[in-house]
Amino acid sequence: ADWKYAFEESLTDVQGVYATKFKEAVEANSDHTITLFPYGSLGESADIMEQTQAGLLQFVNQSPGFTGALIPEAQVFFVPYLLPTDQDHLGRFFKNSKAINEDFVGLYANQGLELLSMYPEGEVAMTTKSPVKSCADLDEVKFRVMTNPLLVESYKAFGATPTPLPWGEVYGGLQTNIIQGQENPTFFLFSTKIYEVTDHITYAGHNNFTTALMANKQFYDGLSAEEQKVVQDAAASAFDYIVGYQKSLADSELDKIKEAKPAMTITVLSDEERACFKNAAAEVEAKFIEMTGEGGKAILDQMKADLDATRD
Amino acid sequence: MKSDDPNSTDQHQMNGFLGVLDTAVSRVESFMLAFGVLLMAANTVINVVGRFVFQHSLFFSEELNRILIILITFAGISYAARQGRHIRMSAIFDMMPARIRKVMMILIACVTSLAMFALCIFAIRYITSVAASGRVLPALAIPVFWIFLWVPVGFFMTGVQYALTAVKNIFDKDIYLSTQVLEGYEDDEFEV
Amino acid sequence: MALTIFLIMVVLLLLGFPMMIPLLAATFTGFMMLFGDIGKTDFMVQQIMAGIRPASLIAVPMFILAADIMTRGQSAGRLIDMVMKFVGHVKGGLAVSTATACTLFGAVSGSTQATVVAVGSPLRPRMLKAGYKDSFVLALIINASDIAFLIPPSIGMIIYGVISSTSIAELFIAGIGPGLLLLVLFSAYSMIYATVKGVPTEPKASWGERLAAVRRAVWPLGFPLIIVGGIYGGVFSPTEAAAVCVLYAVFLEFVVFRSLKWPEMYTIAKSTGLITAVVFILVGAGASFSWVISFAQVPQQILASIGITEMGPHGVLAVISIAFFIGCMFVDPIVVILILVPIFAPVVKSVGLDPVLVGTIITLQVAIGSATPPFGCDIFTAIAIFKRPYIDVIRGIFPFTVILLCVSAALIFFPQIALFLRDLAFR
Ligand code: NA
Ligand code: NA
């Protein structure tokens, strides 16, 4: 059969590369084919999610930032300084974590979704119009965030004025100074040209962008054991590929930004400079538990345990 | 645009209980339209003022506007149906003799009415599934399905308008674009 | 399948159904053919809602509201009087002013529908009074509004840039050349039209009269200040500028000029809501239709069948132009960009075309598409706002479409029209 797979980025971005690898693996090991639908071709993130839940699509890639409206616990990925920026550690974590591979699988199943894989898209960088060395530098900066309550809380705690704005308005908003900052993984800064309208890139190590591939559960449960294995293997091989791929991606895309805009300053904050961001993180963590209750706390604790267990 | 006289009398209005009901519905719809537009303007202006004077955006401003645009669109489609203002390509229609135009108008009104009722049902089903998913608006933290409640109502009321138009065309000797508007593009917006 | 739903749409359209019906019926047929399950048609509603979701659409009712207040009051009249004192004696002067006003307003507001309303509603009565035929006036307003797509900031270019990973800054600069070329050509056509049709001119105003007119227009000149200064100055987003214009219009007409009474605000708001609804339901139905087309991979199939991979650069550019032109005939331009750009991306890369040139050509096609029958947002807006039948609104469009198509062809063979400024700034 021809399976439909929608995701939130372009074909050449991380989600697109992952999707292409997944498609290749499935088509090589079965008679099934996969049609890929990149960003916007079937609607926005919430739309493709609903289409997958209803079985119009078989696979959807959605970042937990958007899933938060459906599964509050998924907002845990926005607790600052929870995930490490060390990509090897992250790779081991996603592969072996009980929180990811058991707890979240259950939470997604409640929504009619089979969670196939969670994978990292790279460290989140802040891009701004004036340099950022500490939280004080974010004072009165209107900082664009995704419409996600925990992200709003984070940037409030960092001292900025969080401004939720749909992605389509971010470039124009930066250009016309409605907002003065936004955050995204490095490759996205280059591919979406956001670097053209900001002057400073800052790495505070506060987060690593996570995304997830899932299937319609009814569809998945209806597959033969053999077909399920093909799907699982494809997700696993795409995961392995993407972890290696995106490790060097941040550096290569950063080089492209430097080449296109030599005046761009790139700052990696020192531990002292990160202190105020880390202090703010505790506040956000408390807020997360307040918003998600016992279930949220359990996931958070499990993730911390899993992260410790996968440290080397 | 012509200036509308709020007191103009309306010779095409329906009679009897249905007429009273229709007038009442029309008043509610027009209130929703005006209220929605004015609230949208106020919300956006207050957000600008908040940003400059108090350094704070209204966290729900964008979501409120999204709710209002749905309200305006779906209160508006049935109001527009009553006013005969929906956009159509009438070039061929207008060239036909009156008798054929009459038949075509009845057909158009019937089919459109059915389509609107069907969409009303689709909308109810869609809302039910959104409600079941438990999705909430990120900023306002209210369930998403609430903002769609006007959608089936708007489709239903539009369906009713076109059904009444079909009836009117069957029993009346003139050709009507809507229950209140004769065909032709004179400036004939009726006020209630 | 593509043929079936296309036929259903065209037949219902020609029979004179309200235009949402051909779109929705075609979409419904598509759903049934794809899924064979009426249970899936819920997603028609999802996509209608998705179509009216973009935050940038909010600017449309806001500008309609502001324009309606200005037009019913005195602001619009005073602004136009001022312009007329300067250009009224020139053949076609008013038409050229209208075209320029559309270009400027559209460029800044970012919304062609808002431009049709905001510039069209005050200027159309004045042009009619001056002796221009309505068919010409409507066509001029609709087409000149679309130049906005090419002049920064342009939503279409931003979306193209984001999904094709092309420099948006370069796209913006590249759009200016073709945008201005169009304005010049439209102006030239207007002057020729006014001369051939013998549109009368006003006597030349003295500098005293001009000064008096400027004085009368001092308050209303705040509008361009809010819009141009506010948006380019980074104070407001276009939507916010629109809302601030509403506030300023209320202040002028109800407080300063006292030309309107408060109960009229209700009527104006209701009329704004009505126009918004009839246009937005079509935007929504169009989004629903395009979902079916995209899901069924119709564009991919058509492109595969014409063998685009064997064509040279000029051939590819021609196919892209035609594809976007046709796409925009049926659905909203932004949706067309979202669906078609990824499909063409590999071909563009393999023949080595400059993505900035491609983006400019696509944006031009999108501009043409919104003003060209059968489906075009600007046409719908003009019908809704001016209460003219469809056929009247499109009657005068042909000469403008010819000019637009000539510029498209010129852009393919003389890319320097677009790239000259870009190279000057970036290379
Ligand atoms: Na523009
Ligand atoms: Na069109």
pLDDT tens digits, residue range B3-43? 344 434 344 556 677 788 888 999 999 999 999 999 999 99
Residues of C in contact with A35 (CB under 8 A): 297
| B56–chain A Cβ distance below 8 A for any pair | yes
Q: Which ligand is nearest to the CA of C401?
A: 2
Adjacent-strand bridge partners of A59: A5, A215
Residue B3 is predicted with a pLDDT of 38
In this prediction, the residues of chain A whose per-residue pLDDT falls under 50 are none
Give the number of beta-carbon pairs within 8 Å between B and C. 195
- Which residues are CB-neighbours of B174 under 8 A, at least 6 positions away? B182
Give residue C134's pLDDT. Answer: 94
Closest Cα in chain A, distance from residue B35 (Å): 25
B63 has a pLDDT exceeding 60: yes
- Number of domains comprising chain A: 1
| Residue C176 CA to ligand 1 centre (angstroms) | 10
Phi-psi region of B50 (alpha: psi -120 to 50; beta: other; left: phi over 0): alpha
User: Smallest CA–CA separation between A290 and chain B, in Å?
Assistant: 14
Residue of A56, A113, A147 to mutate, testing the B interface (most B Cβ within 10 Å of its Cβ): A147
Q: Which ligand is nearest to the CA of C151?
A: 1
Domain ranges, residue A76: 2-309
Distance from CA of B17 to the nearest CA of C (A): 26
Q: Is C25 on the interface with B (CB under 8 A)?
A: yes
pLDDT for res C49: 94
| Angstrom distance (rounded) from CA C157 to CA C170 | 10
Please, where are the H alpha helices in chain A? Answer: 14-29, 45-53, 64-67, 87-96, 98, 105-110, 149-158, 170-175, 186-191, 217-221, 225-260, 271-310
What spacing in Å lies between the alpha carbon of B61 and ligand 1's midpoint? 24
> In chain C, which stretches have pLDDT less than 50?
none
Report which of A145, A202, A207, A209 is spatially closest to residue A173, judged by C-alpha positions: A145
The chains found to touch A (3+ Cβ pairs under 8 angstroms) are B, C
User: Nearest-CA neighbor of A231 among A34, A39, A74?
Assistant: A34
pLDDT the model gives residue C190: 95
Per-residue pLDDT reduced to its tens digit, C294-318: 999 988 888 888 877 778 888 899 9
- Asked if C163 lies within 8 A of A10 by C-beta distance, the reply is yes
Q: Which among C157, C158, C236 is the top mutation candidate for probing chain A, defined by the most A β-carbons within 10 Å of its own β-carbon?
A: C158
Tokens representing residue C311 in the block: 């064509």
Contact call for residues B155 and B74 (beta carbons, < 8 A): yes
Find, in chain B, the residue whose alpha carbon is nearest to that of A54.
Answer: B129
Is B37 within 8 Å of C269 when comparing Cβ atoms? yes
| Interface predicted TM-score of the whole assembly (ipTM), two decimals | 0.90
CA-based nearest residue in chain C for residue B120: C45
The count of other CB atoms within 10 Å of the CB of residue C170 is 26
Note whether A16 contacts C: Cβ–Cβ < 8 A. no
pLDDT tens, residue by residue, A53-67: 999 999 999 998 778
> What distance in angstroms lies between residue C136's CA and the mean position of ligand 1's atoms?
23
The pLDDT score that the predictor gives to residue B5 is 40
Specify the DSSP class assigned to residue B88.
B
Which residues neighbour C354 within 8 Å (Cβ) at sequence distance 6 or greater?
C415, C419
What is the maximum alpha-carbon separation in chain A?
58
Residue C391: exposure state from Cβ atoms within 10 A (0-12, 13-18, ≥19): middle
Chain A segment 139-168 residues within 8 A of B by beta carbon are 140, 142, 147-149, 152, 161, 163-166
Determine contact, residues C292/C27, Cβ cutoff 8 Å: yes
Instruction: Determine whether the interchain pair A168/C56 forms a contact, defined as Cβ–Cβ distance below 8 Å.
Output: yes
Q: Which residues of A touch C42 (CB under 8 A)?
A: 54
Whether A35 and C345 lie within 8 Å, measured CB to CB: no
Enumerate the residues of chain A whose CB falls inside 8 A of the CB of residue C345.
11
B44: which chain C residues are within 8 Å (Cβ-Cβ)? 58, 62, 239-240, 242-243
Residues of chain C with Cβ-Cβ distance to B126 below 8 Å are 42-43, 45-46
- Report the share of chain B in percent with pLDDT over 90: 51
Taking the Cβ of residue A109 and every Cβ of chain C, the question of whether any pair is shorter than 8 Å is answered with no
Percent of the residues in chain A that have a pLDDT greater than 90, as a whole number:
79
pLDDT value for C301: 86
Residue C374 at interface with chain B, using a CB cutoff of 8 Å:
yes
Q: Is A1 on the interface with C (CB under 8 A)?
A: no
Ligand 1 mean position, distance from CA C171 (Å): 12
How far apart (Å, rounded) are the C-alpha atoms in residues C219 and C231? 19
Q: How far is the CA of C335 from the centre of ligand 2 (A)?
A: 13
CB-CB contact of C391 with C146 (8 Å): no
Q: Among partner residues B6, B34, B80, which is closest to C277 by beta-carbon distance?
A: B80
Structure tokens at A185: 């993984």
As a dihedral over the C-alpha atoms of residue B118, residue B119, residue B122, residue B127, rounded to 10 degrees, the angle is -140
Give the pLDDT confidence score for residue C102 in this predicted structure. Answer: 87
Q: Which residues of A touch B130 (CB under 8 A)?
A: 50
The residue ranges of every structural domain in chain B are 13-184
Name the neighbours of B, counting chains with at least 3 Cβ pairs within 8 A. Answer: A, C
- Of C21, C244, C278, nearest to B85 by CB-CB distance is C278
Whether the CB of C11 is below 8 Å from some CB of chain B: the reply is no
Give the span between the Cα atoms of B67 and B71, in whole angstroms.
6
pLDDT at B187: 47
What DSSP state is assigned to residue A179?
-
